[in-house]
Amino acid sequence: CRPPGRGERIGHILDESLKCFAEQGFERVTYDDLIARSKVSRGSFYWYFPSKEALYDAVLDTCVSGYVERLEVEFAKTGAKDNIVKRLLDACLADFNRNRKQYRLLLRPPPSKSAIRTLARWNDGVAQFFRDKLEPSVKAGKLDRAAAEILPDVLSAFLDGVCVRLVLEDEGSVSRLSKNIE
């Protein structure tokens, strides 16, 4: 049995730190909590991540990277004959249900410029995904251009509300939302 390589070790630290940050929040989690959870030596931990902020930034970047690609996969699974808004919400909620820890983390960032930039990049990517999916409906005359321009913000605000409900651990209401989208 070979010891884990650098990439595997970093991936393990990021995965375990995601869980820790999601459970306790950035402010409450300590470096000792993160090291204990990751089961990596203190020296190795500091070598990869010299501060809790640097670790959080890496975890956050991991959460945000690939988000639009995940939405594309979920969107492809939705009913092509369904209303575009329903399809977008179904795709987002499916990803949400698969990645709840990531969403908990995204709502509890430290007040760092790096975290804010990463979250802004995530938000911009989601808005562009929505615009790209709405455009064919506009061109086909199924959706008014004015509605298509405001829908990304409306959908984003709705999804932010879903995330807040998750952080408040009101999971029942989130499941009801998924079932009642029409």
Per-residue pLDDT for 3 more than 70? no
DSSP secondary structure letters along 78-137: S-TTS-HHHHHHHHHHHHHHH-HHHHHHHTS--S-HHHHHHHHHHHHHHHHHHHHHHHHH
Segment 143-166 mean pLDDT: 84
The pair of structure tokens assigned to 69 is 């690609």
Sign of CA dihedral 72, 77, 81, 83: negative
Q: What is the pLDDT of residue 20?
A: 87
pLDDT in tens, 51-72: 888 898 898 888 888 888 999 9
CA dist 136 and 172 (Å) reads 34
Spatial CA neighbour of 105 closest among 51, 48, 55: 55
Segment 101-117 mean pLDDT: 74
Per-residue pLDDT for 97 more than 70? yes
Say which residue the tokens 């010891």 belong to.
Answer: 3
Angle between helices 113-139 and 145-167 (to 10 degrees): 140
59 alpha carbon, distance to own chain's centre: 11
Contacts 24+ apart (CB under 8 A), 77-86: 83/182, 84/133, 84/134, 84/137, 84/142, 84/143, 85/151, 85/155, 86/181, 86/182
pLDDT in tens, 14-37: 989 988 888 888 888 898 999 999
Radius of gyration of the chain (CA): 19
- In the predicted model, what is the mean pLDDT of the chain? 82
Q: What is the pLDDT of residue 128?
A: 93
What's the pLDDT band for 162 if we cut at 50, 70, 90? Answer: confident
Query: Does the reported pTM lie above 0.85?
Result: no
Q: What is the pLDDT of residue 44?
A: 84
Q: What is the pLDDT of residue 132?
A: 94
Give the up-direction half-sphere exposure of residue 9: CA atoms within 13 A in the CB hemisphere.
15
| 25 φ/ψ sector (left φ>0, alpha ψ -120 to 50, else beta) | left
Q: What is the pLDDT of residue 173?
A: 56
Per-residue pLDDT for 1 more than 60? no
Segment 142-165 mean pLDDT: 85
CA dist 54 and 68 (Å) reads 24
